[in-house]
Amino acid sequence: MTTDDSAPGLRRARHLVRPRWVWGGLAGALSGAVVLSIGVVVLSVPLSLTGTVLLLLGAACSVRGGVLYDAVPGFSPRQELRQMRDGTVHPGVAAGDMVGTDRARRDAVASNHLTRDLERAAHHPERAQWAPVAGWTSMLITATLVVSQWNLVAHNATGASNSFRDTGWAILLGLSGMRVAVVAGRHRISGAVMLVSGLGLALGGMLAEHDHFGLQMVEVTTGCLAIACALVAYLSPSSPA
């Protein structure tokens, strides 16, 4: 452990980093590694020994310069070059060191409060928000009604009437469902539109004339689901994120 009384702000530093020693030792170690590699390739004992000595000396210089304690938040080549040019010496960071700045204390306090809030929320979970689920389900119902037109609607006056009626309800369900899915809050108007659309589908499936029984089942089923989605959207409002 060393201290440097001549350098301001470093009086209490346990380890110092000397960039000239660090980068000079790194350059020497790399040079030694290259010489050692060449010596191994050409089977030259003198070159191998020279490379080994350079490698060890370079590594020793880097360690002596504090390379093991040269921890920085971000690497800046310009800053490193400036420190080597000026011969700057700065405190290093060793294992177990703690930062004592005001900013670090504020961050620690904020993190502590956040952790406590998360733990408190885990023990007291808020009510689940089902309105977005109801909204996306309404849009799925819309897609189902549109797809069912291709195979279940007869090509006559009765089928045209069924298709026109279902298309209207599907449009209302899709628009109100999209609002419920993406907008927070209690959706009174959208829920009412979904409820009317669901009732229209269910009553149309039970009372209107159809040429295909499958279309009746689709209308009654999707109508009941739309009514359920309307009630969920009204009773379980979503809050802003």
pTM of the model: 0.46
The count of structural domains within the chain is 2
Residue 73 lies in a domain: yes
Q: How far is CA 51 from the centre of its chain?
A: 48
Whether 99 maps to a domain, the answer reads no
Residue range 37-58: mean pLDDT, rounded: 89
N-term to C-term CA, the chain: 51
Residue 207 lies in a domain: yes
Q: Please state at what angle helix 19-42 crosses helix 45-64, rounded to 10 degrees.
A: 160
Q: Report in angstroms the alpha-carbon separations of 74 from 20, 24, 71, 80.
A: 19, 21, 9, 11
140 and 227 share one domain: yes
Residue 112 in domain: no
Cα 85–chain centre separation: 41
Is residue 121 domain-resident?
no
Tell me the backbone φ, ψ of residue 240, rounded to 5 degrees: -60, 150
How many CB atoms within 10 Å of residue 113? Answer: 10
Does residue 3 or residue 67 have the better pLDDT?
Answer: 67
- Residue at 101 is within a domain: no
Longest dimension (CA), the chain: 102
Same domain, 46 and 138: no
Which pair of tokens denotes residue 69?
């304690």
**Same-domain check for residues 163 and 215:** yes
Query: Does 230 share its domain with 138?
Result: yes
Domain boundary among 42, 63, 91: 91
Using 50, 70 and 90 to split pLDDT, how confident is the model at 121? low
49-93: pLDDT as tens digits: 998 999 999 889 888 888 877 776 666 778 777 877 887 787 777
Same domain for 149 and 201: yes
Task: Single out the residue in 91, 115, 141 at which a domain terminates.
Answer: 91
Residues 217 and 150 in one domain: yes
In this structure, is residue 211 part of a structural domain? yes
> What is the arithmetic mean of pLDDT over 3-12?
42
**What is the span of the domain harbouring residue 179?**
131-235
Q: Is residue 7 part of a domain?
A: no
161 and 219 part of one domain? yes
Residue 241 to residues 100, 138, 189: CA-CA distances in angstroms? 34, 22, 22
Q: Concatenate the DSSP letters of all residues of 108-147 into one string.
A: HHHHHHHHHHHHHHHHSPPPP--HHHHHHHHHHHHHHHHH
List pLDDT tens digits, range 168-206: 899 999 999 998 888 877 788 888 999 999 999 999 889
